Amino acid sequence: MAARNKGLVFRVTGLPASQPDGELNTTLKATIDDNLLEEEKSKLTVSTAIVPSCYDNEHERVALVEFHGTVPAFLSELAADPLGDWQVEMGDTDINFDHHFFGFTQLYTPKPDAPVTADIIAITGLDGHAYGSWRGKGNLGRMWLRDFLSKDLPYCRTMIYGYNSKLSTHGIDTIMDYGRELMEEIKKIRGTEECLVKVVQTNEDDHPTIATLHKATYGMLLFGIPHKGLVVDDIQKMLAGQDNHPRSALLQQIRSKSDLLAFQLADFKNLIRDRKIDSESKRWKRTGNFVTAVDADSALLQLPDSMEEKIPLGSDHSMIVKFDAKNNRGYTSARDKLRQFEQDAPSVVAARFSRAQNRPKPSSMVPFQRDSAFVGREDILAKIREKFEQAASQDHSRVALVGLGGVGKSQIAIEYAYRVRESASQTWVFWVHASNAARFEQVYRDIAVKVELPGHDDPKADILRLVYNWLCDERNGRWLIVLDNADDDRVFSSPRVDLDGVAQGAEPPGGATPLTSFLPQTPNGWILVTSRDLVAAVNLVGMRRNGFS
């Protein structure tokens, strides 16, 4: 039989799951045939495949339909408007054809003789197509995620994700809008603790399902992602003369050296500290000569080699994810990485959920009752909140309240601590007495007990170091430390002393390390200092503008 050249692939949704897949496939082909013109029936060859629905597989099936030859007349509207939909009657059911593939689409049915081992999600970049961006340019038009992985990873649920990424359309979505839309769709299709491969960053405080997704995500293959932005000059030529084009704001967000991307990259690196990353760099050609729109520095996360494997591929932006044959070097690299992910992920993900189940829930260690008569000071509370929010994209954030004794610094800190717990119940709040080293260390011992730190009851344990390491580990969640009565700069800058005033040697916990070394500087933590001494406060927070009188 002669090989058929590739044709346009459409998605069909709304197929009833009440029929067996074989019968449903036959019914669908008959429905398509009924809608073809007589002259098209001899010219067109139709290939159909029934696949599970990512959203409601109990009641619905999805089909992938490829027309070899040309697009039939009844779907010509979709050729003219690729963002549209077209309804067709199939018996007493209305089915829907589309070419945009918005949302999630499963590409093949996993083998039924064993459980699904992992979810693989493929997400195209801006101006890409959910299906076409992964499809080879050869005459057979192989789509490796579907045609190759169905044989090489037959127990995975492999999906593509579509969204309106076309820069020529009049969308107004921002980077954050795209991210939120993706997370909402993932919530709809993920209800288990199976491992997940390739997904974007999440925030564990947003939603219980997102926290579960973060634990379930094992690894990512990043094909030349412009983490630090890309050269958008070539794209802007497409919008020439359209100064008010809705996509202009988006282009500013993704341009090279974008502040927004820099902040998000910092958060992303912290979020994926124990995930497996494989990054592949590329060049991007639009028109005319080659231009390096995504350079190697932007395409790589620059993580340690133990976390990120860098794989160079000699392809341009379009071809880096298009593999025509199973022996293509890019495909074999991607396949081998995915196989390794599939093999290693289940035990790692299971351990994460086991740790999470046994981990104590975040709580507050504020030793004071909330003042029900607290009024005023809203301006100071707003400034504290604003400073912490401004510093959210940095490595850490510290704010100080400075003033004479009795002016209400601690009361403001108490009120702020309670408000933090009200607005973010997954945040730990620790109250640390900072008037002297002994009280500071005692609170750290209390924290070790509260968070159930392994080894905290060992008399030889370095409690300060144990708690410091726990606070630095972002997997333990967000925290706020109120460092109360930090009036004496020498408490934090001088070597620790025992209760008799003798400098401690190497044997006691913490040795001669200044206490300030045990105050973490991590993106998941905030420190609010109260002090009578401006110098002591500034030395702790690092900058005078982060202090309020």
Identify whether the C-beta of residue 464 lies closer than 8 Å to the C-beta of residue 445: no
Query: Domain locations in the chain?
Result: 1-100, 102-224+268-281+305-358, 378-548
Whole-number Cα distances in Å, 127 to 132, 326, 499: 11, 26, 66
pLDDT given for residue 360 in this prediction? 86
Distance CA 529, CA 221 (A): 42
Alpha-carbon distances of 185 from 60, 160, 199, rounded to whole Å: 17, 12, 12
- What is the pLDDT, as a whole number, of residue 441? 93
Six token digits for residue 225: 């992602």
Return all residues near 98 (Cβ < 8 A) that are at least 6 apart: 10, 11, 13, 78, 84, 85, 86
CA dist., res. 63 & res. 97, Å (int)? 9
Least Cα distance to 437 among 502, 366, 379 occurs for: 502
- The CA-atom distances, in angstroms, between 53 and each of 62, 122, 250, 381, 484 are 6, 16, 32, 49, 55
- 1-100 against 102-224+268-281+305-358: fold identical: no
The answer to whether residues 255 and 230 touch, using CB atoms and an 8 Å cutoff, is yes
> Which two structure tokens, joined as six digits, stand for 68?
């070899």
Nearest CA among 156, 137, 288 for reference residue 145: 156
3-class DSSP assignment, residue 103: strand
Question: For every residue of 224-291, which 3-state class applies, written as one string?
Answer: CCCCCCECCHHHHHHCCCCCCCCCHHHHHHHECCCHHHHHHHHHHHHHCCCCEEEEEEEEECCCCCCE
Domain 1-100 classification at class level: alpha beta
Residue 272 to residue 260: CA distance in whole angstroms: 18
Q: What are the DSSP E strand ranges found in 37-84? A: 45-52, 60-68
| Per-residue pLDDT tens digits of the chain, which is 549 residues long | 445 678 999 999 999 999 999 999 999 999 999 999 999 998 899 999 999 999 988 899 999 999 998 899 999 999 888 889 999 999 999 999 999 999 999 999 999 999 999 999 999 877 789 999 999 988 889 999 999 999 999 999 999 999 987 765 555 566 777 878 888 898 888 754 455 554 332 333 445 566 677 778 888 887 765 544 444 444 444 444 455 555 555 555 555 555 544 555 555 555 445 555 555 544 333 344 433 334 444 444 444 444 455 555 555 456 778 899 999 988 998 899 999 989 988 888 887 777 666 678 899 999 999 988 887 778 888 888 887 776 554 555 888 888 888 778 889 989 999 998 988 888 999 999 999 999 999 999 999 999 988 888 888 888 999 999 999 888 788 899 999 998 988 888 766 544 334 444 333 344 468 888 899 888 888 989 889 988 888 888 877 776 677
Which fold does the domain 378-548 belong to in CATH? Rossmann fold (3.40.50)
CA atoms of 286 and 255, how far apart (whole Å)? 16
Q: How many residues does the chain have?
A: 549
pTM over the 0.85 mark = no
**Would you say the C-alpha torsion 199, 270, 125, 298 has a positive or negative sign?**
negative
For 102-224+268-281+305-358, CATH gives: 3.40.50
pLDDT of residue 226: 54
